[in-house]
Amino acid sequence: MAKKTGGFLPISKEDMVSRGWYYCDFLLVTGDAYVDHPSFGTAVISRVLEDAGYRVAILSQPDFRSEADFAAMGQPRYAVLINSGNIDSMVAHYTASKKRRHDDSYSPGGVGGKRPDRAVTVYAKLARRAFPNTPIYLGGLEASLRRFAHYDYWADHIMPSILQDAGADGLMFGMGEKSVLEIAANLKAGKRGPDVCKQVRGTAYFTKNAQDISFPAVWCPSMEETVEDKIKYAESVKIQYAQQDHITGKAIVQKHGHRLLVQNPPSIPLTTEEMDWVYGLPYERTYHPSYEAVGGVPAIAEVQFSIIHNRGCFGGCNFCSLAFHQGRYISSRSHESVVAEGKRIAQHPDFKGYIHDVGGPTANFRFPACKKQETQGLCQNKRCLFPKACGNLRADHSDYLKLLRQLREIPGVKKVFVRSGLRYDYMMADDNDEFFLELVKYHISGQLKVAPEHMSDHALYYMGKPSFDVYRRFKERYERINAKLGKKQYLVPYLMSSHPGAELSDAVHLAEYLHSIGYMPQQVQDFYPTPGTLSTAMYYSGVDPRTMKPVYVAKTPEEKEMQRALLQWRRPDKRAIVIKALLQAGREDLIGYGKECLIRPRPNEHFAHLHTEKPSKRHGRGRNTQPSRRTDRTTDRRAARTSNRSGGGRRDQKSNQKKKYTKHR
């Protein structure tokens, strides 16, 4: 058994020797820089194994052109564990329009190109070349969401399970603390092949023998069937989603040629005591000091002084992979554990008094949605918040509010922010204003980011989001509470274009609404078909897996650009495509001089059915002629400038605008 010595885990042979190690039990390979913080999966899994007495060495962003970096660390005694990092390597490298990104916030100095495309597969093949007889196990988001035959947006076709392409021995999906410890124990006991995984929840493996399946199982269409038939692919996704509950879920079997891919039921979620243990391990809470010379790792900035208090999300948005990865069941840490972490943060030499976030996948969930989930599992054909809040939902923020109050009382803490993933529909299901009042009073800095995603109920249905009326009422309540407290704070809505089911008319309606409130988002997220989501299955198959009915999908670059451009109709560079979209949608009435019009004609431009109202001399051509809306529109634009939607839009900020916004805040 390894003896814990504190500090960062070894990242080189020299580090191992300095600890008196001449081998490691596990070599953990990651596509991220090595950051020893509980927001990073590599840090959590390595610390969990270390706490169990295993020797773990970290191989971060190895040279992917040869196996030399793998061999340099020496052959591990039990296995090589591989992940691509905190995010999918393809998402890290490409935008939704498949344009190459130039930077990478999870790499030293933010420099891109430090990991390969399809990093898990590349690393696994290099590990096999370096250590032909050593077991290889995959984990993390990239592997988890590719555990079955899946549609790959970048290649634009169905790909087999990542286990097949990588040639690995097994895969851990979801949150892997329990499964990695069981796998480690099985390897230590001398087990090999399917025997390592076949009785371990939260794992997937290949076998040729159906008798290796240790749990009650359902079969989904084979990999070959999903390649040949898009409807079969949608059916397979529906079956896979139906079994992702730790209480009711069965094993899932999918044939790949002559072999059987077996996904065991999901891991049992961590108890509160187990989560306290995981987050109480001796993390350094920063990046490895070897990166200091190149400016560190940018990704640490948002999370170094943030706290994760929960896991899981029962929101169930169709475009989100959380239900397929972490699951919909909520686990949470104790107040004592969270406050203890807050006190450790307050003692950090770089801490300036601000806890940046107290959240998780969804910040304001502290317990399962209803009592039934604790013993009977989650409903398969119902959602807790969609299309409206379930009658059994426990909408109660009192425990979360108590936790925030305790964090505010820690000596040295000036402010505790809540910045990630607030479900406004869950807040609206809670009639008590107490949490809402304190959120606005103490936990927001000028703006609150929420995600209505759209305003067309037609589009929202396919997203799995509640009616836009819920957001409208939330906005009114937010403004009322701000007024009551004498504050001027703004909502920054995240919006998405081109989601399956969203038609051009839906985008026009959204543009009309945004125009009516004097707000144009600086950034818009175009739908990104990533593996493991119901929305991606819609995009590829053209049917909704929930109902197996056809769904409209905007796929051509022009269709997608039209929907996106309509949400930023004021941008001069979008003018031509916005006009084309309006004409195609039969909405020439929105081109003219009326206050409801999106586009003002230029000299020598001729459109049918123009409004006859002339532009105001005071405001000039092309501007809203309602003076009373200028203030609202300006402040909304200011608030939107800090919205940073991953993969969407661009920032065009002038220095004088930055100064005004800073002064305003």
Q: Binding residue per annotation — 379? A: no
Q: Where are the beta strands (DSSP E) in 257-315?
A: 259-263, 286-287, 306-308, 310-311
Boundary (domain end) residue, out of 200, 230, 263: 263
Q: Name the phi and psi angles at 205, rounded to 5.
A: -160, 165
- Tell me whether residue 220 is in a domain: yes
pLDDT band at 622 (very low <50, low <70, confident <90, very high): very low
The neighbouring-strand residues paired with 137 are 81, 170
Asked if 578 and 597 touch (Cβ cutoff 8 Å), the reply is no
Query: pLDDT tens digit string along 403-419?
Result: 999 999 999 999 999 98
The CA distance from 545 to 535, in Å, is 9
Q: For residue 431, what are the contacts with CB-CB under 8 A and spacing of at least 6?
A: none
Query: pLDDT tens digit string along 33-74?
Result: 999 999 999 999 999 999 999 999 999 999 999 999 999 999
- Cα 468 from chain centroid? 22
- Tell me whether residue 135 is in a domain: yes
% of the chain with per-residue pLDDT over 70: 90
Q: For residue 228, what are the contacts with CB-CB under 8 A and spacing of at least 6?
A: none
The CA distance from 124 to 2, in Å, is 25
Single out the residue of 10, 254, 287, 243 nearest to residue 149, CA to CA: 254
Query: pLDDT tens digit string along 587-596?
Result: 999 999 999 9
The CA distance from 496 to 528, in Å, is 10
The neighbouring-strand residues paired with 150 are 159
When pLDDT is averaged across residues 163-189 and rounded to a whole number, the result is 97
**Residue type, position 111, single letter:** V
Burial of 371 (0-12, 13-18, 19+ CB in 10 A): exposed
Query: pLDDT tens digit string along 112-131?
Result: 999 999 999 999 999 999 99
Residue 156, pLDDT score? 97
Same structural domain, 513 and 460 = yes
Same structural domain, 436 and 463 = no
Q: Name the phi and psi angles at 60, rounded to 5.
A: -100, 130
Please, what is the end-to-end C-alpha distance for the chain in angstroms? 54
Single out the residue of 367, 383, 365, 485 nearest to residue 433, CA to CA: 485
- Tell me whether residue 577 is in a domain: no
- Tell me whether residue 77 is in a domain: yes
Query: pLDDT tens digit string along 200-258?
Result: 999 999 999 999 999 999 999 999 999 999 999 999 999 999 999 999 999 999 999 99
pLDDT at 628 over 80: no
Question: Quick check: helix, strand or coil at residue 200?
Answer: coil
Query: pLDDT tens digit string along 517-570?
Result: 999 898 889 999 999 999 999 999 999 999 999 999 999 999 999 999 999 999
Burial code (b: 16+ CB inside 10 Å, e: under 16) for 164-177 equals bbbebbbbbbbbbb
Asked if 142 and 88 touch (Cβ cutoff 8 Å), the reply is yes
pTM over 0.95: no
When pLDDT is averaged across residues 27-34 and rounded to a whole number, the result is 98
pLDDT at 88 over 50: yes
Instruction: State the CATH number of the domain containing residue 518.
Output: 3.30.750.200
CA angle 465, 468, 474 (to 5 degrees): 100
Residue 623, pLDDT score? 34
Q: Binding residue per annotation — 390? A: no
The CA distance from 332 to 315, in Å, is 16
Query: pLDDT tens digit string along 129-140?
Result: 999 999 999 999
The neighbouring-strand residues paired with 526 are 497
Total structural domains within the chain: 3
Residue 627, pLDDT score? 32
Q: Which two tokens stand for residue 525?
A: 């997220």
pLDDT band at 461 (very low <50, low <70, confident <90, very high): very high
Same structural domain, 437 and 522 = no
Instruction: State the CATH number of the domain containing residue 420.
Output: 3.30.750.210
Residue 613, pLDDT score? 46
The CA distance from 106 to 111, in Å, is 9
pLDDT at 96 over 70: yes
Same structural domain, 246 and 109 = yes
pLDDT band at 663 (very low <50, low <70, confident <90, very high): very low
Q: Which two tokens stand for residue 225?
A: 């069937």
**Pairing of β 26-30 and β 79-83:** parallel
Boundary (domain end) residue, out of 425, 445, 465: 445
Residue 610, pLDDT score? 54
- Tell me whether residue 332 is in a domain: yes
Same structural domain, 478 and 518 = yes
CA angle 589, 594, 597 (to 5 degrees): 55
pLDDT band at 609 (very low <50, low <70, confident <90, very high): low
Boundary (domain end) residue, out of 397, 424, 445: 445
- Tell me whether residue 521 is in a domain: yes
Same structural domain, 337 and 469 = no
Burial of 383 (0-12, 13-18, 19+ CB in 10 A): buried
Same structural domain, 61 and 170 = yes
Residue 629, pLDDT score? 33
The CA distance from 494 to 526, in Å, is 11
Same structural domain, 61 and 35 = yes
Q: Name the phi and psi angles at 550, rounded to 5.
A: -60, 150
Same structural domain, 348 and 461 = no
Burial of 550 (0-12, 13-18, 19+ CB in 10 A): exposed
Single out the residue of 115, 103, 108 nearest to residue 140, CA to CA: 115
Asked if 276 and 309 touch (Cβ cutoff 8 Å), the reply is no
- Tell me whether residue 277 is in a domain: no
Query: pLDDT tens digit string along 440-454?
Result: 999 998 899 999 999
Same structural domain, 245 and 352 = no
- Tell me whether residue 604 is in a domain: no
Q: Which two tokens stand for residue 653?
A: 């900020």
Share the mean pLDDT of the chain. 90
**Pairing of β 259-263 and β 203-207:** antiparallel
The CA distance from 283 to 302, in Å, is 17
Single out the residue of 569, 567, 572 nearest to residue 591, CA to CA: 569
Asked if 413 and 355 touch (Cβ cutoff 8 Å), the reply is yes
When pLDDT is averaged across residues 77-103 and rounded to a whole number, the result is 96
When pLDDT is averaged across residues 459-469 and rounded to a whole number, the result is 97
The CA distance from 237 to 80, in Å, is 30
When pLDDT is averaged across residues 74-81 and rounded to a whole number, the result is 98
Residue whose pair of structure tokens reads 């529909």 in the numeric block: 425
The CA distance from 396 to 127, in Å, is 49
The CA distance from 98 to 413, in Å, is 42
pLDDT at 631 over 90: no
- The CA-atom distances, in angstroms, between 28 and each of 43, 72, 174, 282, 306 are 10, 14, 17, 18, 25
Residue 608, pLDDT score? 56
Domain housing 526? 446-569+626-650
Please report how many Cα atoms fall inside a 13 Å half-sphere around the Cα of residue 531, on the Cβ side: 28
When pLDDT is averaged across residues 95-111 and rounded to a whole number, the result is 95
Q: Name the phi and psi angles at 79, rounded to 5.
A: -170, 160
Same structural domain, 543 and 413 = no
Same structural domain, 344 and 423 = yes
- More confident: 299 or 660: 299
